[in-house]
């Protein structure tokens, strides 16, 4: 069933234990004016809803508690809303304890990396995601590929790769490496030589990268 989205006022808050399932409505988010896009309905399990909220808040109990109470969140260009849930801190903490958490003891393993994000130090320039599958493609006259070049840089400067936390949205541990001017210039050179055309233009638009973030999905 569909309809038009109402104003984003929080609904009446329930004062009962955390429910197992939650009826949720959602629609595409539109900035600066009331949405008239169709509203869809879906029943979420409590864990599914909290998992989505964690992608927005990170592991922050008070923020998760607040969003459950207000009954609305924006995620991936959609606004979701539900009847507000008054979650007790102890009960919510027990639930959050079942989700992954930061673990700085996890060593960086380049072979487990699936995405490398290049970030610029210049304000307003969007980071570039480099996916392993695309970056492993070799150009016609090269025996190397961009992916191997990026990981070689990380291996050569392993001491500079630091743990940066767990990302619920990425389902992965993040490792960060600040790039020296020499490393940035070398990377730009390799992009020109080795990157597929579509990826090359995106990285070139970024300018000299300031850091690389290595995304390593957690499997256990």
The predicted-structure confidence for 135-176, as pLDDT tens digits, reads as follows: 988 776 667 889 999 999 999 999 999 999 999 999 999 999
The stretch 113-130 carries a mean pLDDT of 91
Both tokens of 108, joined, read 């960086």
Report the side by side order of strands in the sheet with 40-45. 40-45, 21-28, 78-81, 72-75
Lowest mean pLDDT among 106-120, 138-152, 172-186: 138-152
Q: Is the pTM of this model over 0.85?
A: no
Q: How high is the pLDDT of residue 5?
A: 47
Apex CA 74: angle with CA 70 and CA 80, to 5°? 65
């Amino acid at each position: 069933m569909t309809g038009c989205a109402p104003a984003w006022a929080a609904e009446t808050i329930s004062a009962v234990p955390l429910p197992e399932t939650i009826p949720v409505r959602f629609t595409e988010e539109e900035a600066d004016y009331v949405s008239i896009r169709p509203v869809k309905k879906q029943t979420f399990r409590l864990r599914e809803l909290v998992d989505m909220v964690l992608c927005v808040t990170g592991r922050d109990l008070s923020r998760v508690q607040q969003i459950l109470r207000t009954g609305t969140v924006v995620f991936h260009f959609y606004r979701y809303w539900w009847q507000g849930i008054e979650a007790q801190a102890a009960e919510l903490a027990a639930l959050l304890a079942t989700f992954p958490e930061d673990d700085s003891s996890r060593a960086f393993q380049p072979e487990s990396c699936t995405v490398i994000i290049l970030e610029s130090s210049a304000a307003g320039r969007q980071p570039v995601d480099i996916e392993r599958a695309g970056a492993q493609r070799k150009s016609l006259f090269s025996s190397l590929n961009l992916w191997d070049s990026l990981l070689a840089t990380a291996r050569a400067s392993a001491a500079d790769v630091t743990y940066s936390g767990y990302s619920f949205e990425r389902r992965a541990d993040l490792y960060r490496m600040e790039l020296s001017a020499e490393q940035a210039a070398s990377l730009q050179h390799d992009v020109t030589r080795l990157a597929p055309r579509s990826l090359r233009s995106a990285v070139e638009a970024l300018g000299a990268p300031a850091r690389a973030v290595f995304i390593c999905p957690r499997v256990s």
